[in-house]
Amino acid sequence: MRVIITKNYEELGKVASQHLLGTMFASQERVNLAITAGRTPLEVYKYLVPEVKDKNYLNHVHYYNFDEIPYKDNKQEGITIADLRRLYLNPANVLEENIHVLDGENYENQDNRIQNDGGLDSILLGVGADGHYCGNLPNTTTVNDYTSKVTFEDNPDLEQVIIDHFIDPKDAPDFYVTMGPRSIMSAKQLVLIANGREKSGIMKSFIEGEITPDLPVTYLKLHPNLVVIMDEEAASELN
């Protein structure tokens, strides 16, 4: 595990974007990236978009979402891919044929599809204050799970979490899908980003604590090529 501590969130964005660009430029053959939505990567995409937009020499880079909260009855694209389009894919003018969408119907084929595409070269991940990554919240998936459907029956506390993503609660499904721990660990490299003082507690537990199912993110320490990039606030509780 390599740990990089940046002075602030802006520098985190620059460092992480440069790291991803390094992966993109490392090969002229196809490069496969899975990227995260949410607030943490905003600064990363701010710097990455102008470096990628309309660059024909980066048309070999393909993108995947690693989890999804689908609309009930699939009335429109899911929450995650819609966020990724808004935050990065659309501003960067990524070719539609280079966007490979995970949804509530094709999740059982996700791992085979990625394997057939050559595997994931890198995954950009965030971490939740509860220790989750992707859709691997505590008490939802196990260390041996591949891409999975997670239902309210698995974890009743998820219902309100899911509903909060929708303007109209009637659009909320009773499940979401996520690449499980075994799927994530199959990637060639993992890049975990964290910023802000609110992440300092979980980052201390992650860096200095034991591997435990109560904090799913700790399993990522088993990956042979893990890069952790966090700002000084997120690192403020480290010894």
Structure tokens at 208: 């200095």
**Sequential DSSP letters for 195-206:** -SGGGHHHHHHH
Burial degree of 27 (CB within 10 A; 0-12, 13-18, 19+): exposed
Burial degree of 119 (CB within 10 A; 0-12, 13-18, 19+): exposed
Structure tokens at 63: 């993108």
**Sequential DSSP letters for 160-218:** HHHHTT-SSGGG--SEEEE--HHHHHTSS-EEEEE-SGGGHHHHHHHHHS--BTTBGGG
Which positions are annotated as active-site residues?
67, 130, 132
Distance, CA of 157 to CA of 160 (rounded, Å): 7
Closest by CA to 38, choosing from 133, 123, 114, 121, is 133
- From the centroid of its chain, how far is CA 122? 10
